[in-house]
Amino acid sequence: MRLFLESFSLVKSFTLLGFFVAAMHVVVFGLDLALAWPLQRASVPFDAICVVCGLMLTYLSWDTFRDQVREER
């Protein structure tokens, strides 16, 4: 993480933003699936698809993060 933040740039800020958005997707729609909060489980398929999309975005952000750290070595 130290290598990642040493030479911070706009590209790296988008990587961190991707992590944040992915975490929010998984948390909000996961809570809606599990506890029917905050969206009162309006659509279970929509919640499930959003959780899967959040997990895919997490993987893509992680892969981009690894590539950015490798470039700095």
**pLDDT (tens digit, 9 = 90+) per residue, 5-28?**
777 788 889 999 999 999 999 999
Distances (CA, A) of 65 to 14, 45, 50: 10, 30, 22
pLDDT at 47: 96
**What proportion of the chain, given as a percentage, has pLDDT over 70?**
97
Domain ranges across the chain: 10-66
pLDDT at 6: 76
Residue 44 corresponds to which tokens in the numbers above? 């279970």
